[in-house]
A and B are shown apart, each in its own frame.
Chain A
Amino acid sequence: MTQVFVTGMGIISALGQGVGENLNRLQKGKSGIGSAKNLQSNYASLFPFGEVDASNEELAKMCASSTPLGRTDLLALIAFEEAINNASLSNEELSSYDTAIISASTVGGMTDADILYSDIQSSSGSSSYIDSYSYDAHLMNIIKKYKMKGFTATVNTACSSSANAIMLGARLIKSGRVKRAIVGGTDNIGKFTVNGFNALRILSERPCMPFDKDRSGLTLGEGSAYLVLESDEIVHNKKIYASISGYGNTNDAYHPSSISPEATGIINAMNTALNSAKITAHEIDYINAHGTGTENNDVSEMKGLTKVFDKIPPFNSTKSFTGHTLAAAGAIEAIFSILSIENGELYQSLNFKTPMDEYDVLPILEHKKEQKINHVLSNSFGFSGNCTSLVISKVI
């Protein structure tokens, strides 16, 4: 049976650029959530955000992009390049038919509302943003830049998108159709999503408080993360960070924008992931929860956890560090899960004070070292009932 190994990781989030900076902040318990500097919106000062601390010009410098790109595209390129360098992929390997690339973005360049709007209204010729609103514009840039030729897909299951990109990449490798898949997602904070989530009244005026009784909504974040997945037959002496050992994708079939109180989709996703990894619930050492901090998500997710686990293993929501990075969340949190496995440590869930009335279970409240972590469950749920869980395992 083919195994799927993670051999490269790249990330940019409110915690910084690169795996190193992100790890450092996780270990120190230092959140990236604060006031937005780059977001141009009436809400910029009304809500906290998990913004990447760099202007578009600075981001363009980081990835040496000479063509003008949108923020979503820049974030993707930066994380992608770190991942392929980390896995030491050659140009030949990148453009091999054996290398798939699967990405995710919930709104693409639609976040650049003003520019798009003036583009549509203007009668003048084309602008560089004309094609950037599509959901896969960021990926087409990468494909063109690295002359990639293998299977490509962009998936969109809202906030579980990049967890599904990881799952699809792993399945393609297991099918034998490709030997390698670069998988991840990207989303930036823009007027489109800020106004969308504000209209739904689920943005918190304080930094999000996952699993707290007094939680008041989510904090919007931005970022991008990519992982290089390779089949066990081609890794040779490469450094292996972890394996993607199980996955479950289900639908809650309850409501367009909220999760069922019975947690149908959540429970099915977790159970399917555990079954596909051929492990039992008590073998999970840590759960990276979806934990958005909304009233609806956290209570349903806790319901799901209590149904699947007799005793819930240590869990946190790293969205308390990064904010909710939408399509990037699944990939960012997969990397955080791998950091826990690799360093044998658990990172705290920030901003937690009071347990919910319904559940007397607490998330991880302090940085814990010297932990033996063999299997991690990472949850991602999205609008339209999309639920995905991944099992990520230590390779011994």
Chain B
Amino acid sequence: MMYIKDSYCISPQKTLTDKGISEYTQHEEIKYYAIEPDYSKFIPNSILRRMGKSVRMGVGAGLHVLPPSTPIDGILMASSNGAIEDCFKFLNQIITYNEGTLTPTHFVQGTPNAPAGQLALMSKSTGYNITHVSSGLAFEGALLDAILLMEEKVVNTVLLGAVEELSECHYVVHDKINHFKKEGVDANLLLESSTEGTVYGEGAVSFIFSSTPTESGVRIVDVGQILFPDQDEIIKRIIHFLDKNNFTPQDIDAVVVGLCGDTRYDHRYIHLINEMFNDQWIYTFKNLVGEYPTSAAFATWMSDQLLKGNPLPKEVEFRTSKKQIKRILIYNHYFDQCHGIILMEK
């Protein structure tokens, strides 16, 4: 078992207090930018200036739960695209200066393991250190990695962070394959959209996970993956996943799904809800924070808030239920390629 001891969330919503979301931010644009905290408390300005957005958000969110000079047993980061904007900047320099004399800043900052390394350096953590980058499954991969570390009894507490930045270059490239809507939509109408594409978000979440029970008792029970599935396989695998953990769909009180308003892929969620979960709470989150590869980390943060009874805007309630929420299943996919499932309870 892996308990959530602490967390911090930087997102396109007002989440910096870590007491749920009291004030809902309604987006109407295609790009949902994160609301960032003041980092200067933790990060010296000289270092902060050189950091790209994903490094800044990843390290910033990490330092809120892991203050400088407080070593922890392990640091795991999840980031599909890493500091992609730094990479593109370095790429641009290569072309613009025709491979002339370049400064290595964007190259070094652009490596996806930079936040995990920077956090190790600042907290003086010399233990396990890894960065998962699998698109759409980087967070789920890091979660399983952390669960293994706990089972192996080589750690008691770890920092697990996820970060993704909204990159203009990524937007331009992926807009060509219709990943994004052509016009902004009122977030309250996003999930009823009748067009292809979704909205683009970003954010960073960090958790401190502990092998010993915490006050709230919220824990990650298990995590699973389903690759390039057909409809039947999704249901089969989720039943198998629940069964492996000695649960039936009836034992689930709430399902958090990654509905994103893309008419090509949202039927996956609807089908699952209709087939398996008829009287559970159904929650959504991408109408709050947009779509990005490690958005499941936000869903996990939000589920922790739910289990703790912290306030969330009614906009996340896709369907209400009479069930008291003690056990949550998160089901999310990234453009229908990699599907992830996370089981949480308190």
Contact = CB atoms under 8 A, between A and B. Distances in A.
Interface in B174-192: 174, 176-177
B112 A253 contact: no
Contacts of A257: 104, 108
Per DSSP, chain B at the interface is mixed
Contacts of B114: 256, 383-384
Contacts of A175: 148, 151-152
Contacts of A54: none
B182 to A, nearest CB: 14
B161 interface: no
B111 A120 contact: no
A64 interface: no
Given A120-B173, A192-B90, A251-B75, A134 B135 contact: yes
Interface string B36-73: 00000000000000000000000000000000000000
Contacts of B95: 113-114, 117
A229 to B, nearest CB: 15
Contacts of A256: 108, 114, 117-118, 121
A143 interface: yes
A200 B133 contact: no
Interface string A222-236: 000000000000000
B137 to A, nearest CB: 7
B294 interface: no
A191 B94 contact: yes
Given A41-B99, A251-B126, A253-B124, A384 B118 contact: yes
A254 B131 contact: no
Among B88, B135, B337: residue with most chain A CB under 10 A? B135
A148 interface: yes
Contacts of A187: none
A252 interface: yes
B121 A158 contact: no
B137 A251 contact: no
Contacts of B128: 249-251
B91 A154 contact: no
A8 interface: no
A175 B146 CA distance: 12
A218 B101 CA distance: 18
Given A154-B133, A171-B148, A383-B113, A149 B227 contact: yes
B134 A136 contact: yes
Interface residues of A, number: 65
Interface string B110-149: 0111101110110111111111111101100100110010
A117 B128 CA distance: 36
B52 to A, nearest CB: 13
B15 interface: no
Given A130-B176, A156-B133, A385 B120 contact: yes
Nearest to B147: A175
Contacts of B174: 130
Interface in A238-288: 249-257, 264-265, 268
A77 B28 CA distance: 43
Contacts, number: 186
Given A130-B173, A156-B111, A384-B116, A253 B121 contact: yes
A46 B20 CA distance: 57
B82 interface: yes
B132 A191 contact: no
A97 to B, nearest CB: 8
Contact of B107 (A149, A157, A195, A252): A195
B98 interface: yes
Contacts of A196: 90, 104, 107-108
Contacts of B112: 135, 156
B68 to A, nearest CB: 12
B130 to A, nearest CB: 6
B227 A157 contact: no
B270 interface: no
A144 B228 contact: yes
A69 interface: no
Interface in A123-137: 125-126, 130-131, 134-136
A132 B132 CA distance: 17
A249 B126 CA distance: 9
A384 B113 contact: yes
Among B81, B102, B128, B337: residue with most chain A CB under 10 A? B128
A164 B130 contact: yes
A199 B102 contact: yes
A42 B337 CA distance: 38
A382 interface: yes
Given A151-B144, A199-B104, A157 B121 contact: no
Given A110-B91, A200-B108, A152 B134 contact: yes
Contacts of B169: 120
Contact of A386 (B104, B113, B125): B113
A106 interface: yes
A391 interface: no
A278 to B, nearest CB: 14
Contacts of A130: 173-174, 176-177
B111 A110 contact: no
A200 B104 contact: yes
Contacts of A382: 113
Contacts of B17: none
A154 B132 contact: yes
B111 to A, nearest CB: 5
B184 to A, nearest CB: 21
Interface in A333-386: 382-386
B107 A42 contact: no
Nearest to B102: A199
A143 B137 CA distance: 14
A117 B99 CA distance: 14
Contact of B126 (A125, A147, A253): A253
Contacts of A153: 132, 134, 137, 141, 144-145
Contacts of B227: 143, 148-149, 152
A120 B88 contact: yes
B102 A195 contact: yes
Nearest to B114: A384
Given A155-B130, A164-B130, A250-B126, 7 more contacts: A130-B177, A191-B99, A195-B94, A199-B103, A200-B107, A200-B108, A251-B126
Q: Which 4 A-B pairs have the closest CB atoms?
A: A384-B117, A196-B107, A199-B104, A251-B129
15 contacts: A130-B174, A136-B133, A143-B228, A152-B225, A152-B227, A155-B133, A249-B130, A251-B128, A251-B129, A252-B126, A265-B126, A383-B113, A383-B117, A384-B113, A384-B118
